[in-house]
Amino acid sequence: MTTNTTQLLEGVPTVLDVLFLAYYYGMFLLIACVNLPGNILVIVTVLRHEPLRQPCNYYISSLAVSDLILGFVYPLYNISHIGIPAITCPLGKWSVCRILVSQVLALEICSSYHLVAITVTRYIAIVHPLRYHHIITTRSTAICIPVIWILSQGTAVAQYTFYDPIDYKGICRYELIFSLHHVGILFVIQLFLPLCVMVGLYCKIARIARRHAKVMSLHEPPRPSPYRISFNRSSSIFGREVKSTIMVAILLFSFAVGWTPMVIYFFVSIACETCQINRYIRASARILLYMTSAINIFIYAGRLGDFREFIRRDLRKTFQCVVNRFRRNTN
């Protein structure tokens, strides 16, 4: 444990400690202000508009639910690190800490499994387009989503809830409690296996998409013909699928960027007990991880035209209703 951390726990913060806490929790507050309303907006948009009620969007809305819950739980877990006894003591109890840790990791595992499921839907849409609507149905989606939640919760609960640390110091920080064994399992189930599956599927998707693009360019009619309409329709459908696939690829990239620094930090901090890791590095790794739950919102709105249009329309209506009510109250 570093000297700065000890000072905070003793209730003697320095100016540098205050600056660190301002950076640490200020960034969490800023991200939470985007995470919470943004994910609620994504969920409501899917539920309100029938054209968006499609299997892939159901996975996206379920992922938004996971990010929304994480938006509450992860800051609470990080608040338990603060050096104010009135906050640290109740949240630092092992009975509370084990729940916080298991739920944070369960929600992160849930997010990665959702990305795997979304990648599979994109794979089927591109590689097996004729079978897509027979395989990816509302019924199969309604079965897969609860399975993802149950599997992620069961994995986290089995690994962390029944674990009793030998020397628990009352500080609810993962790297101070768990061993390399736990980090190794977390790395495999949270990062390595999902990434391997998704990267493998995307390699196949990229090859098929390139092949389809070449076929379309070779068979595009040189002049107007009766087949132009059907060809343009199939081209536009394929183009929408490719855009959705690119959106999921960006989600995958942001997930990998958000989780990799944290896993590396866990490995280094647990394997090297004498290493003094700068607390800003530790804080930045956690902030980056939390940021992935907020950045997904911009990926939906930025890459998917339907999402962008419906969100813009809903915000315009909401703003207009607020303005009209304000005018009525003032008159």
Span 3-15, pLDDT tens digits: 444 444 445 567 8
Q: What is the pLDDT of residue 178?
A: 84
Q: What gap in Å lies between CA 22 and CA 74, rounded to an integer?
A: 17
Q: What is the pLDDT of residue 220?
A: 52
Q: What is the pLDDT of residue 244?
A: 62
Q: What is the pLDDT of residue 9?
A: 44
Q: What is the pLDDT of residue 208?
A: 79
Query: Domains in the chain, ordered, with CATH?
Result: 3-330 (1.20.1070.10)
Contact 299, 254 (CB under 8 A): yes
Q: What is the pLDDT of residue 4?
A: 45
CB atoms within 10 A of CB 193: 14
Q: What is the pLDDT of residue 317?
A: 85
Q: What is the pLDDT of residue 303?
A: 64
Q: Which residues of the chain have pLDDT under 70?
A: 1-13, 82-84, 212-245, 247-248, 300-304, 331
Record the tokens describing residue 303, joined without a space: 């890459």
Q: What is the pLDDT of residue 228?
A: 44
Q: What is the pLDDT of residue 51?
A: 86
